[in-house]
Structure 1
Amino acid sequence: MAELKLQPLVMTGEGWADYGLVDSGHGRKLERYGPYRFIRPEPQAMWSPRLPDWDAHGEFVPGSDEDGGGRWHYMRDVPADGWPLAWNEAKFTAQCTPFRHLGFFPDMAPVWDWMRGRLGYSPLDRHPRAGGDDEGTGGARGTLNLFGYTGVGTLALSECGPVTHVDASKKSVAQARENAALCGMEDRPIRWLVDDAAKFAAREVRRERLYDGIILDPPKFGRGPKNETWRLEESLPGLIGDCRQLLDADSRFLFLTVYAVRMSSLALGGLLAEHFAGLPGTIEHGELAVREDALRQAQDDRSARLLPTAIFARWSGD
């Protein structure tokens, strides 16, 4: 029986060559994306900035309502079609989107590392595990990326074997394919699917498919390709129940992240504990966070603040 750990965890993302959280405070954050710097809203940055001046190429100015909206204001030229970035072997295009982010979620970097570790991947191992057939019942295995967006996580997981990438946005899946081509991974065993994530998972259950791992990053609200409505609090329990049916005692993980909701990570952990009671392993929960670059050069890392970005719950098989 999977054991729920009550003590929350913090999974901390560190900056790398193409990304870093430079500073944060007064409800905003300053980040570097390759050669460009951007300011974006961040309600959880309740403290004061540590740097006296923020030199940026652009800033996202939010709308006046709580439901989103807003626009980018540029102080310098920024490529409208985006520019290339990399995380380890995965290359992708960063771009200022109308949704305030830049085409990927850098706080997911420690999650990508964790999942690859659960699948037994080492940077020295260039021979990924073989997956099952794409057709027939019980043949999928590999990993399943639901709400896969522009595919950086999919590319990271493809080092470990086959990946099924599902997103309701045709544009996002097209960008994910372009990212795969950018880093020469277009021939990897990846299924690129434009589909409603919940409906796809339900069909996979009926097909009796099984996966080695599942990652899902559902939105607070969304619509599928056929105008299906997704509301997190209403729809998530059913999706987790279906995901449980796609895993068995030989599976390695399920990782769930949730952004921008008034919800506790312990609630997510409790949801997983209910559905995963019949499997061995461990259920953990906590927060994702990114460590600031500010002052790290002058002082030790203990002085660098952690900016929380999301809550998560995860199941690890034995």
Structure 2
Amino acid sequence: MYSFLTTINWPDYELIDSGDFEKLERFGDYYLARPEPQAIWDKNLAQAEWDKRAQAIFKREKGSSEKGQWQLRKGMAQQWFIQYEYQAMKLRFRLGLSSFKHVGLFPEQDPNWKFIYEATRQLNTKPPKILNLFAYTGAASLAAKAAGADVTHLDSVKQVNYWARENMEASSLNQIRWIVEDAMKFVRREVKRGNVYQGLILDPPAYGRGPNGEKWQLEDELNELIKLGAQLLDPHDNLFLINLYSLGFSGMILENLINQNFQQHAKAQQEVGEIYLQDQGQRKLPLGTFYRFSTVLYNKIETK
């Protein structure tokens, strides 16, 4: 089933406007303006309205597509917390202004956090083992933990894992396993050990580096990652989720890779499609593709 997923009913987040390669967002009490390469249309609001609202504006360095500096208005915090709730899941995320325009959270992942929470709760294995690779600041890890999972969280950046631990503690959760390592090295070793997980969450970047300088290039590594993931995932009691943010990677690429490598897994529910955010002018901002399935029937979650 081809689906379009978006973020809804989150009081602490909204996409206000988008256009001219930028987006204006509200995270809790603060309004941020950041670059957005997909927003090629005109802004809905006048520039004067953006200037009035934005308390932090990210300006790229000359010659860089990501790195830059934040321009802050008086009263803008460098760090702050926002709330996230879904059913009995109550999370707190610490946000901060990084030199790469990120704030420590990807709010478009809201429908996937709900999927993780719902599916994890209904897995037959108690507690289910969930592996989250390229796990960043841990929102998906927290969703699985809140549902009762034994969670292994892996990211190659030590400081990011510290940030994820802060989010865990702020959310009154505990006992997540933290690993700082190159994802491919870890997965190859887990396959050799014969380890099995009931849940596999993959959030690979387009490119990156491991803790010892290991090179990650999505188009070069994704096929092997999926093959190894199929060997790690319980074929009878499972959930699987992968997100791709890289421009040019369609859902059909994911569908081909998953269907080829996960033939032994009973996919009771499976979806492939796109994730987007909708601004107040009703424009849909595409923010990546996803593929997910689970052998358990989870309750209907809000996706539109």
Fold-level match, TM-score > 0.5? yes
For residues 168-226 of structure 1, what are the alpha-carbon distances to aligned partners after superposition, in whole Å with 9 as ceiling and x for unaligned? 1100111111111122213xx31111111111111111121111111111111111112
For residues 94-129 of structure 1, what are the alpha-carbon distances to aligned partners after superposition, in whole Å with 9 as ceiling and x for unaligned? 1111111111111111101012222236xxxxxx97
Structure 2 unaligned regions, length at least 5 = 297-304
* TM-score of the aligned structures, taking structure 1 as reference length: 0.84
The residue correspondences of 1:63-102 to structure 2 (distance < 5 A) are 63-65=61-63, 67-80=65-78, 82-88=79-85, 89-102=90-103
In the other structure, the counterpart of 1:135 is: none
Amino acid at match of 2:126: A
2: CA distance between counterparts of 1:15 and 1:97?
A: 26
In the other structure, the counterpart of 2:254 is: 268
Tell me, what secondary structure is at the counterpart of 1:271? helix
Structure 1 runs, 4 residues or longer, greater than 3 Å off: 63-67
* TM-score of the aligned structures, taking structure 2 as reference length: 0.88
Aligned residues: 286
How many angstroms does 1:51 deviate by?
A: 2.4
2:275 to 288, 294, 298: 288
Amino acid at match of 2:35: P
1: CA distance between counterparts of 2:129 and 2:83?
A: 23
Confirm or deny: 8 A CA contact 2:125 2:237 kept in the other structure.
no
For residues 118-153 of structure 1, what are the alpha-carbon distances to aligned partners after superposition, in whole Å with 9 as ceiling and x for unaligned? 2236xxxxxx9732xxxxxxxxx4211101111121
How many angstroms does 1:248 deviate by?
A: 2.5
Report the RMSD for the aligned CA atoms in angstroms. 2.0
Asked if 1:171 corresponds to 2:167, the answer is no
1: CA distance between counterparts of 2:136 and 2:220?
A: 22
In the other structure, the counterpart of 1:194 is: 180
1: CA distance between counterparts of 2:165 and 2:131?
A: 16
1: CA distance between counterparts of 2:9 and 2:64?
A: 29
1:61 to 51, 55, 59: 59
In the other structure, the counterpart of 1:130 is: 126
In the other structure, the counterpart of 1:308 is: 286
How many angstroms does 1:283 deviate by?
A: 4.5
Identity of aligned residues (%): 36
2: CA distance between counterparts of 1:64 and 1:264?
A: 30
In the other structure, the counterpart of 1:21 is: 15
Residues 174 and 25 (structure 1), Cα distance of their counterparts in 2 relative to 1, 3 Å cut = same
In the other structure, the counterpart of 1:298 is: none
In the other structure, the counterpart of 1:113 is: 114
In the other structure, the counterpart of 1:232 is: 218
The residue correspondences of 1:212-251 to structure 2 (distance < 5 A) are 212-251=198-237
Residues 63 and 311 (structure 1), Cα distance of their counterparts in 2 relative to 1, 3 Å cut = farther
2: CA distance between counterparts of 1:153 and 1:164?
A: 11
The structure whose RCO (Cα within 8 Å, separation 6+) is larger is 1
2: CA distance between counterparts of 1:175 and 1:183?
A: 12
Asked if 1:252 corresponds to 2:228, the answer is no
Confirm or deny: 8 A CA contact 2:116 2:143 kept in the other structure.
no
Tell me, what secondary structure is at the counterpart of 1:103? coil
For residues 33-56 of structure 1, what are the alpha-carbon distances to aligned partners after superposition, in whole Å with 9 as ceiling and x for unaligned? 111000111122222222231111
2:169 to 181, 199, 203: 181
2: CA distance between counterparts of 1:104 and 1:210?
A: 28
Amino acid at match of 2:271: E
2: CA distance between counterparts of 1:317 and 1:129?
A: 12
How many angstroms does 1:306 deviate by?
A: 2.1
Confirm or deny: 8 A CA contact 2:132 2:200 kept in the other structure.
yes
Confirm or deny: 8 A CA contact 1:58 1:76 kept in the other structure.
no
Structure 1 unaligned regions, length at least 5 = 122-127, 132-140, 296-303
Amino acid at match of 2:157: S
1: CA distance between counterparts of 2:246 and 2:62?
A: 17
2: CA distance between counterparts of 1:285 and 1:65?
A: 35
